[in-house]
């Protein structure tokens, strides 16, 4: 494996960064997949001997040297470990209703950039319904977009994106604070909630374009969620996600 660990907090900033699947790291080398190899060789025009940074999305990062180039996968020699970086101290899970078109593509990028650790898409009464085949294709695309965002936003951990599930299935979770953002909620409560000390974890639920039904809001309350509002205006899904994550990360995370 790589010799020692480089503790320089800024070393990785000067290196081009690549993602490698965890199972492709062994015996001191990392094998990039064809897509990452194309980006390295054709887009960035890096060759054998170039110094780069590589991470497996699970907190392991290395300084590496391009050892060989092949269309099926570049081989990187791992030179030194790099300290993890870019992770929020707040364990944060985002549950998001299936939305139309490519709306959730942007959400996956934003959630990765905002430090979310777990993303749980769900089907609700007013969300888009999709065939299993389409859901599988979308899941693969979302995970690819998260990997791309991981590199650009300088994180060490890739958020885990679950396959879509039913609304009731995402109500159970170990988080200390659970919030559902409901467009018909006018009772406030979010400001007071955000004043509490940092919890051990937070689970957020944001609905699709049509929002939640009263039955679903009541179901969430019964499951221990606090139902809160993001203000008097109707927000697009992408706007609601970004607003909610920014508020929570400012209160309890690392947006200081």
DSSP classification of residue 58: B
- Whether the per-residue pLDDT at 11 is higher than 70: the answer is no
Element (H, E) at 62: strand 61-68
0.75 surpassed by pTM: yes
| CATH for 92-252, options being 3.40.1280.10, 3.40.50.720, 3.40.1500.10, 3.40.50.11610 | 3.40.1280.10
CATH 3.40.1280.10 in the chain: give the residue spans: 92-252
Lowest-confidence range among 70-74, 108-112, 149-153, 208-212?
70-74
Architecture of domain 5-82: Beta Barrel (2.40)
Contact status, residue 42 vs residue 34, Cβ threshold 8 Å: no
Please compute the mean of the pLDDT values over residues 227-254 and round it to a whole number: 94
- Quote the CA–CA distance of 223 and 171 in Å, as a whole number: 6
CATH 2.40.240.20 in the chain: give the residue spans: 5-82
């Amino acid at each position: 494996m790589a010799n020692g660990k480089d503790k320089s907090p800024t070393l990785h900033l000067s290196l081009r960064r690549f993602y490698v699947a965890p199972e492709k790291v062994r015996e001191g080398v990392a094998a990039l997949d064809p897509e990452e190899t194309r980006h390295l060789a054709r887009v960035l025009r890096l060759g054998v001997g170039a110094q780069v940074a590589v991470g497996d999305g699970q907190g392991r990062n290395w300084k590496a040297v391009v050892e060989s180039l092949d269309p099926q996968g570049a081989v990187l020699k791992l030179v030194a470990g790099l300290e993890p970086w870019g992770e929020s101290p707040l364990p944060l899970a985002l549950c998001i209703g299936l939305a139309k078109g490519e709306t959730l593509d942007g959400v996956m990028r934003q959630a990765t950039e905002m430090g979310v650790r777990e993303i749980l898409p769900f089907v609700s009464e007013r969300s888009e319904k999709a065939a299993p085949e389409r859901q599988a294709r979308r899941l693969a695309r979302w995970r690819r977009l998260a990997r791309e965002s991981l590199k650009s936003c300088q994180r060490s951990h890739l958020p885990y994106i679950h396959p879509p599930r039913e609304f009731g299935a995402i109500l159970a979770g170990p988080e200390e604070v659970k919030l559902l953002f409901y467009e018909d909620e006018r009772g406030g409560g979010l400001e007071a909630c955000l004043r509490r000390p940092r919890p051990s974890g937070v689970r957020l639920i944001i609905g699709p374009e049509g929002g939640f039904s009263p039955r679903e809001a009541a179901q969430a309350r019964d499951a221990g969620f606090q139902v809160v509002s993001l203000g008097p205006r109707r927000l697009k899904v992408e706007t609601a996600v970004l607003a909610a994550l920014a508020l929570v990360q400012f209160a309890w995370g690392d947006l200081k």
